[in-house]
Structure 1
């Protein structure tokens, strides 16, 4: 019979073991709770930066996990605590610390932890800018694991890595596999979002629309829900389903959960007005949006759209376009549209000056001004339609102008881009009137015409003859200059002649003649610049 003392001792021992078990269970439970809180915050903020509160919660999960590892190293929760700690470091972007934990956990003899560490170590390689080793490890794990849940996560990550590497075919392949296999709502949401984004980028709008809708069915992230709704609205508009787009905008504008994207919704509604050719109404709306949401990306985009509207008929007004560009640049916010404006602003400033010159009565070379206006509009700003008026003005009224051939070729190029049969008129005019020009050479080569470009043929002949009969070759080089002084062939021939007389014969006077010819006819070419430097070294004014 057990004595009363022994009975009490056993009871106290059992109680002590029980309390100790409770202690390390509670510690691990606290670690899990902090990790769970962090995950909720991370998931809710998908599509934006990790909230500071989430970083803090991951930090507390690490602290509690460390306590389990240091104070209860013999407990059943050690491996779970290590996995939790490693994942927390990973989401805090502390990849070296995460890798250290996973490498230690890799020594486990349990299949679950072995697979998990392989997965997370592969992700660390990816984040360490080693995508190919990460891909290799994930594919190896894919073939060895039986876990459908892990396989679906691997498919998602492989899709994201390939997407990052701009390999859309492989990205689609693995993301679609993930969508087919995943039973986890969060994983499905992430997969569908990536498929939607990739489809949108590839302009596969029907697939994008379907995938964004699936995101809404699976997401618990309000940011992701807002973002996907915006993309659905945009995709409807791009598909020409205007009423569906309008209906969703109007519905969301009445929902307080979407008040943070009200400016985006108003902008999308205005874009629909533009698509429906309600341009004047859209202009007024864009101006109001920009003023209602100052110093935001939306204001910048609204001003940018206004600036582009004033670069096209019927609203063509260079000064107004410049005004709205300047308003956009004043906004205290970053936006990709500012980069677009910077790329256009100098061109618009040039248009304003040229337009002012064109209006002056004493404009000495109106054709050149018209050509520069058309050239900037067409080839710097992409406004082909309005540029045609300037080039046709030259062709119809300034036949003796030096820019007449260039204007003719510009019209051919524009109508060729537009696949308009009018290109044939200008093509024939160039081939018949300027057969030796570089414009004719371009058309002959571009359309594989059975025609000869005389300056090019003569240049080839002169080059091939040089070693056999240099005197005859020199005659051909010189005659090239007389055919058409504007061609690249004449540019090359003149520099050859200048160089030959300069360095081979030491005949500076003859060399200077050809160098001056180059500087006069082809000042911006490589040969022209070299000729100018040589003239300076020869002390020629």
Structure 2
């Protein structure tokens, strides 16, 4: 009887231990990613650059997030946090400017997790990548499709997604050298920002673009 109770205790202890390791791994992925993005946003708000050089601390945190996320995916494939892990990897690689790796994971999330809370956001980030890769025709087509979807379900689209959409459209018009249209989109995007840091970053972005445009005149 005592051995039976002991075996049950060991089973429950083992399950509890595995559960703790699993959640801690996911928490590390999430925490490292959030800290890195906070550092990057703060640095961008002080001195915006189109190709922002991120600090070594932020890089280290992003790679830590990628590593922990991969553990979640590989060791706990039935986890409810798989789409979160894929998202953290995709965003981390994008911040590191490793575009093809980032694209791979955003495409995976979009194709395999259409019910994910990250689905629409991932569609937008994927088009940022297409712009960086100068795939303008593809980006224009997909951005129009995303905007139509958003307009057809406005109540379900939060402010952060509207901000990303208008910021993305602004970047597209910059690529097309339509600066007036770009500024109109960027100004609209400001209406959807609540974070003071992100607002400062956007004003810094507008000032940098305006300065570059004046140099071309």
Show the counterpart of 1:36: 34
The equivalent of 1:144 in structure 2 is 149
Which runs of no fewer than 5 residues in structure 2 stay unpaired? 151-156
**Greater relative contact order: 1 or 2 (C-alpha under 8 angstroms, separation 6 or more)?**
2
Q: Secondary structure at the match of 2:191?
A: helix
Structure 1 residue 102 corresponds to structure 2 residue 106? yes
Q: 1:198 to 1:90 in 2, by over 3 A?
A: closer
Structure 1 length-normalised TM:
0.34
- CA–CA separation in structure 2 for the residues paired with 1:141 and 1:187: 23
Q: Is the 8 A contact 1:156 1:187 kept in 2?
A: no
Q: Residues 439-478 of structure 1: matches in 2 within 5 Å? A: none
1:279-327 deviations in Å (ceiling 9; x for gaps)? xxxxxxxxxxxxxxxxxxxxxxxxxxxxxxxxxxxxxxxxxxxxxxxxx
Find 1:191's aligned residue among 192, 202, 210.
202
- Residue 175 of structure 1 contacts residue 194 of structure 1 at CA under 8 Å; is this kept in 2? no
Q: What are the within-5 Å matches in structure 2 for residues 114-153 of structure 1?
A: 114-145=119-150, 146-153=157-164
Change (3 A) 1:109 1:202: closer
Q: In 1, are the aligned partners of 2:170 and 2:181 still within 8 Å (CA)?
A: yes
Show structure 1 runs of 4+ deviating over 6 A: none
8 Å Cα contact 1:89-1:98 kept in structure 2? yes
1:57 deviates by 2.3
- TM score, norm. by length of structure 2: 0.80
8 Å contact from structure 2 (residues 41, 198) kept in 1: no
CA RMSD of aligned residues (A): 2.5
1:152 and 1:187 in contact (8 A); partners too: no
* Matched-pair contact (CA < 8 Å) for 2:124–2:168: no
Report if aligned partners of 2:42, 2:197 keep a CA contact under 8 Å in 1.
no
Aligned length: 202
Q: How does 1:182-261 map to 2 (within 5 A)?
A: 182-198=193-209
2:175 pairs with 1:179: no
Query: In structure 2, what is the Cα distance between the partners aligned to 1:190 and 1:167?
Result: 21
Select which of 74, 83, 95 maps to 1:70: 74
Q: Does 1:112 align with 2:117?
A: yes
> CA-to-partner distance for each residue in 1:358-383, whole Å, 9 max, x for gaps?
xxxxxxxxxxxxxxxxxxxxxxxxxx
- Give, in angstroms, the shift of residue 113 of structure 1: 2.8
Higher gyration radius (CA): 1
Conserved in 2, the CA contact under 8 Å of 1:153 and 1:187? no
After TM superposition, give the deviation of residue 186 of structure 1 in Å: 4.0
CA separation of 1:185 and 1:101: change in aligned 2, threshold 3 A: same
1:154 partner SS: helix
Is contact 1:178–1:188 with CA below 8 Å preserved after alignment? no
Deviation at 1:6, TM superposition (A): 5.0
Q: Find the partner of 1:12 among 10, 15, 34.
A: 10
By how many angstroms is 1:81 displaced? 0.7
Secondary structure in 2 matching 1:45? helix
